[in-house]
Amino acid sequence: MLNYIRKSLLSGVGLALRSKSEIESIAKELADQSKLNQEEAGKLFDELNEKYDDARNKLDERIEKQVEKVFKKFDIAGRSDIDELNKRIDRLVELMDEKKE
């Protein structure tokens, strides 16, 4: 049972959708139920935290890519497009200021 729960938690999406406090609570509960010693419980907690961070980062990256695809599909300017336009505007303002002098 412990291995089944551990494997399901370590699956990327299932883990990424949980909060950090839920992960801590689950790790403590698993440690108590399986009577893990302090070292084993610490390792489980560290493993779950590491997997959580990794899964969360991957999920965030996937979401960003999907949002970018939607922006492109509907021809909406993204952050990088706006940043580039701001740089161009700043440069034009600088050129205009230079001409005034």
Q: How confident is the model at residue 96 (pLDDT cuts 50, 70, 90)?
A: very high
Residue 96 has, within 13 A of its CA and on its CB side, a CA count of 6
Domain parsing of the chain, residue ranges: 2-74
Q: pTM for this structure?
A: 0.51
Q: Which amino acid is at 36?
A: L
Residue 44 has, within 13 A of its CA and on its CB side, a CA count of 25
Residue pLDDT, tens place only, 57-88 = 888 888 888 888 888 888 888 888 899 999 99
